[in-house]
Every structure is written in C-alpha cells, then in structure tokens.
Amino acid sequence: MDAVLAKNPRTVVLTGVSRGFGREAAKTLIARRPQDRYVVLARGDAAGTAEALAPAVGTGRVLGVACDLGSLADVDRAAGVITSGLDNGELPPLGGFLGNAGVVFMRTDTATADGYETTFAVNVLAHQLLVRRLMERFTAPAWVVLTTSDSHFGQFRYTLGATPPPRWDAPARLARPREGGPREAGRAYATSKLGTIYLAHALARRLPPEVAVHAYNPALVAGTDFFRAAPPPLRAMAKGFFRLQSALGRGMTPQQAGLRLAETILAGPPGPSGSYIDRGRVVPSSPESYDEAREEELWREATRLSG
C-alpha cells in the first residue's frame, strides 16, 4: 500500500463489508495494514461487524458506526461522527474510502425513509453524500474506490441476459419510486451502477490528483447472498446460476473477489484518477459512461436531493 498511502497510520472508511466479497476485502486490508484505523459503516449491529473484522488487530483498530444507507439523515449523522473524529484527533488522517454497499430489489416501488427509490438512493445518493461530506478531509496520498458492475454495459456478454440494459434519466426521476417488477428492478440496478461511474468521474474532477478515485468492477461473484430480498425460489435459482458460472470460469468466489479488490487497493490502483478497473485491470467502461454533462447533473442533483 506504500504506493497509495503513507507509512503513517491512516483512517479508512468502509461500507458494504458485513458480508460477501466486501467482508473478504476488508479482512485482507486490515490484515495487511494493521496500523491503520478502520471505520466500518453498517446497518444494525455495526459494533458486531467491526468486532468480527478485528481479531488480527484488536477491536481498538476497527470502529463500527451504525448507518442505515436508506436514510440520508442517518448517512449525514454517520459522516458527522467520522469528521468529528478526524477533526479532534481521535482518528488519524483520512486516507481511504471503499464504497462497496449496494442493493437490488425485486420491484421499483420500494421507497427509503426519504421517499426515494431504494436502489438509486442507496447505491448512488447515499454514497455521494458520504464522499461529499468527507472529501475535504482526505490527506494525500489517498484513494476512493466505488464498486460498480459490468451490468452498466447492458450487453449480453457481460450480463448473460440476467439484467436489462440501463436507462438513464434525469436524476430526480430515477430517484422516484415507480411501478415495476423484477425486470425493471434489474434495470434500476444497472442504471445505478452507471450512475456510480458518473459519480467517480465527477469526484475525480473535484479532488486533487493525489487523491485517486476509481470505479471497480468485481464481475460475477457467486455466494454473496446478493438476491437476499428475492422470494426463496428465485433466490435459489440465482445461487445455482452463480455457482454454475463460477464453475465455468466466468465468476469468482467471495474470497477470490475480495482478495482481488483488496490487492488492487494495496498495490495502488493501476491507472489515472477516474479510471474503470475490471478485476484489477484498467479497461474502458461503456461509451455511455463517459458523459460529463450527465456526470455534473448527477452531482448537482444528488447534492440537492440529499439536502
């Protein structure tokens, strides 16, 4: 990690590490950089999540902060806990942020506490608010990694037909709950991951080059319980599909994907700020994902929607 972070202790903020490949990535980061202080944002038992990640370094190195990403007020409160700790010296300088949390639902009429469509609110608005609140606290050299998905390409060779192509719209309309079943919910997920790349590009223009921002695609990961919100029969089918793809060499286990993500961060993301990283390699994202007007509109509107 010396290529990205200084040797002195840093604070690293993590979302989406309570299960799946995010948990595996966090375990590797903590084991390889035990001198850093890790702030884990998790819904529910955040202290328990932190304790489960801490055996190798001791509970004093991993701080759990309760945060429901479906509530922008709760996100703002959690960000305030972190910034206060940074400002009063309880936490060392901020050196990293991994925004890995993501959700997908079976319908598009689910709403957060703020009345926003849940997939867009959690995957896009919550992370924009978190990073926006923290961006002035980063101490270079530092890194920001936002987890995206190759579903944003909208092509069969990436999704195997499991997810419809994204359909971008004005952010205020994307944030609005609407009628739609599993297919439209899948489209909402792909659209939110296109939005994640837009956020990475917009953020890269706002941070100094020494604070590198990247969108990271872990590709297909089996065994992550990603479809936990689906009915049991569909959940069982999804798990079987993921296992089959993994056996065919088209996917990875959570352990493999988490190790790949962590090692990419530890080595220093291999590309300029704003790059799209596919399983450790810098590659072009979709042509649609390079649209500065959309990126800036999303940044402005996400700021407005999150208050």
pLDDT tens digit sequence for 100-129:
999 999 999 999 999 999 999 999 999 999
> Taking residues 137-150, what's their average pLDDT?
97
Specify burial of residue 179 (Cβ count, 10 A radius: 0-12, 13-18, 19+): exposed
Specify the pTM. Answer: 0.91
- 221 by DSSP, 3-state: which? strand
- 204 by DSSP, 3-state: which? helix
pLDDT at 252 over 90: no
At 177, the amino acid letter reads P
Specify burial of residue 240 (Cβ count, 10 A radius: 0-12, 13-18, 19+): exposed
At 77, the amino acid letter reads R
pLDDT at 2 over 80: no
Smallest CA-to-CA distance from 13 within 55, 45, 50, 59 is with 50
Residue 198: both structure tokens together: 């837009």
Q: How far apart are the first and last CA of the chain?
A: 35
Enumerate domains of the chain plus CATH numbers. Answer: 11-305 (3.40.50.720)
- Which tens digit of pLDDT belongs to each residue from 181-230? 999 999 999 999 999 999 999 999 999 999 999 999 998 877 555 555 55
Smallest CA-to-CA distance from 16 within 304, 154, 216, 187 is with 216
Q: What is the pLDDT of residue 264?
A: 96
The pLDDT-based confidence of 4 (bands split at 50, 70, 90) is: very low
In whole angstroms, what is the distance from residue 122 CA to residue 43 CA? 12
- Which tens digit of pLDDT belongs to each residue from 31-80? 999 999 999 999 989 999 999 998 766 667 999 999 999 999 999 999 99
Smallest CA-to-CA distance from 158 within 260, 271, 251 is with 251
Q: What percent of the chain has pLDDT over 90?
A: 79
